Amino acid sequence: MASARSDFPASFRPLQIYEQVSEKVRAEIRAGRYLPDSRLPSERELAAMFGVGRPAVREAIGALQNEGLVVTRRNSGTYVSEDAPTVLARTLSPTPSNENSLQADYSPSATLDVRLILEPAIARRAAAHRKRDPLAEHYLQQMETLTDVADAEERALWNNSDRLFHRQLAVMTGDVLLVKIAQEIADTMDQSLWKRIKDDGIYDPARIRLYVAEHRLIYEAIVTGDADAAAFYVEQHIHRVQRDIAPA
């Protein structure tokens, strides 16, 4: 019996929701319906227009910002860049079959959903060992040194320390498979779209201090062996991140 053969190319993958939204907005800009310097509809309006949630719209806007097609002005909205036509002229339109779409970042909201499933379990497993970890403490101390969230270097330090701290919690379980999975998530949190969405959503120094305190609570619960508290603090922290960077 002949084996079934797919008609799809080997490189095929379906577009994520945010990629579909960004391509619709990109097409509107290309067609001249959204002109340079014009204001885009609000996130809520775009979500209703395309029949998707606001997290997908926010991610799509972040992707378009990274491409230089739009700019977001705080308390004003998102505008088509002055040089958007030039940017479009020198780039290919992403489609399921071209190389650009294959390299697209993972959806931050989807990443947070996975973290919500995985990380409380990691915290519980790590708490069973009741051991301090010098590298986790190092990342905590780096986060606690942040004084100017508007500074690009400090923001980069924060993002790096944050993602590696969460990865290190998996190391504290002693389970190599969990570490491998956590490394994949840490790599996702180093992608340009994650950084863009996080930077846009978390820009208040007071909010950063709250995040640092939450990380400290997670770590101390783990090293004192309080598995229930560790899992609870992780879950509450991820829910807070969801509210800040991917509002419903």
124-137 pLDDT, tens digit each: 999 999 999 999 99
Task: Give pLDDT, residue 48.
Answer: 96
Amino acid sitting at position 43: E
Q: What is the pLDDT of residue 89?
A: 87
Tell me what percent of the residues of the chain surpass a pLDDT of 90.
73
Per-residue pLDDT reduced to its tens digit, 184-218? 999 999 999 999 998 888 778 888 899 999 999 99
Sign of CA dihedral 33, 37, 41, 44: positive
Confirm whether pTM is higher than 0.75.
yes
Chain segment 225-245, per-residue pLDDT in tens? 999 999 999 999 999 999 988
* Of the candidate ranges 97-111, 135-149, 150-164, the one whose mean pLDDT is the lowest: 97-111
Instruction: Identify any residues that bridge with 73 across adjacent strands, giving them in sequence order.
Output: 77
Give mean pLDDT, residues 136-144: 96
Residue 121 — pLDDT band, cuts 50, 70, 90?
A: very high
Higher pLDDT, 155 or 183: 183
Q: In whole angstroms, what is the distance from residue 105 CA to residue 102 CA?
A: 9
Q: Cα(205)–Cα(151) distance, rounded to whole angstroms? A: 11
Which domains can be identified in the chain, with CATH numbers?
17-102 (1.10.10.10), 108-245 (1.20.120.530)
Averaged over 162-181, what is the pLDDT?
97
pLDDT in tens, 32-41: 999 999 999 9
- Average pLDDT of the residues in 169-182: 97
**Token pair recorded at residue 42:** 């609000």
Whole-number Cα distances in Å, 96 to 19, 238, 246? 10, 31, 25
